[in-house]
Copies of this chain bind each other. A is one copy, B any other.
Amino acid sequence: MSVVTSGRYTFPNYNLVFFIFLQLGLHSVEGVWPLPQSITSSPERYPLNPQAFYFTYGSQSAAQEGCSVLDEAFKRYFSLIFPDYSSGRFYSEVKFLQWKNENTLSVSAGQAYLKAETVWGALRGLETFSQLVYQEDFGSYYVNKTEIEDFPRFQFRGILLDTSRHYLPVQAILKTLDAMAFSKFNVFHWHIVDDPSFPYQSRTFPDLSAKGAFHPMTHIYTQLDVRRVISYARMRGIRVLPEFDSPGHTQSWGKGQSDLLTPCYSGSTPSGTFGPVNPILPSTYKFMATLFKEVSSVFPDSYIHLGGDEVNFSCWKSNPDVRAFMLKMGFGADFTKLEAYYMENIVNLTAALNRTSIVWQDVFDYHERHNHMLAPDLILLHIWKGVPASYEAELRAITKAGYRVLLAAPWYINHISYGQDWRNYYTVQPLNFSGTEEQKKLVIGGEVCMWGEYVDATNLTPRLWPRASAAAERLWSDEKQTSDVDKAFPRLKDFRCELLRRGIQAEPLFVGHCKHEYQGV
Contacts and interface: CB of A to CB of B under 8 A. Distances in A.
A500 interface: yes
B512 A461 contact: no
A47 to B, nearest CB: 24
A138 interface: no
Contact of A507 (B215, B415, B454, B511): B454
A449 to B, nearest CB: 13
Nearest to A214: B513
Interface stretch (A4-12, A109-117, A151-159, A161-169): A161-169
A196 interface: yes
Interface string A126-157: 00000000000000000000000000000000
A414 B459 CA distance: 15
B219 A456 contact: no
A456 B417 contact: no
A68 interface: no
A169 B454 contact: no
Nearest to A415: B418
Contact of A455 (B165, B219, B417, B508): B508
A462 interface: yes
A459 B459 CA distance: 7
A457 interface: yes
B505 A458 contact: yes
Q: How large is the interface on A (under 10, 10 to 19, 20 to 34, 35 or more residues)?
A: 35 or more
A456 B418 contact: no
B510 A453 contact: yes
B517 A454 contact: no
A458 B416 CA distance: 16
A66 interface: no
A387 interface: no
B506 A458 contact: yes
Contacts of A454: 418-419, 507-510
A374 interface: no
A1 interface: no
A172 interface: yes
A228 interface: no
A120 B454 CA distance: 35
A171 interface: yes
A110 B376 CA distance: 72
A255 B368 CA distance: 66
Contacts of A300: none
Contacts of A518: 456-458
B452 A458 contact: no
A466 B504 CA distance: 23
Given A417-B417, A519-B169, A521-B171, A219 B458 contact: no
16 contacts: A166-B508, A167-B513, A169-B521, A171-B521, A172-B521, A196-B511, A219-B517, A416-B416, A453-B511, A454-B510, A456-B517, A457-B520, A458-B500, A458-B518, A459-B462, A520-B520
Given A172-B521, A456-B508, 15 more contacts: A169-B521, A171-B519, A175-B521, A196-B512, A218-B515, A417-B418, A454-B510, A456-B507, A456-B518, A457-B521, A458-B508, A459-B462, A459-B463, A459-B505, A520-B520
3 nearest A-B pairs in the assembled complex, by CB-CB distance: A459-B462, A214-B513, A459-B507
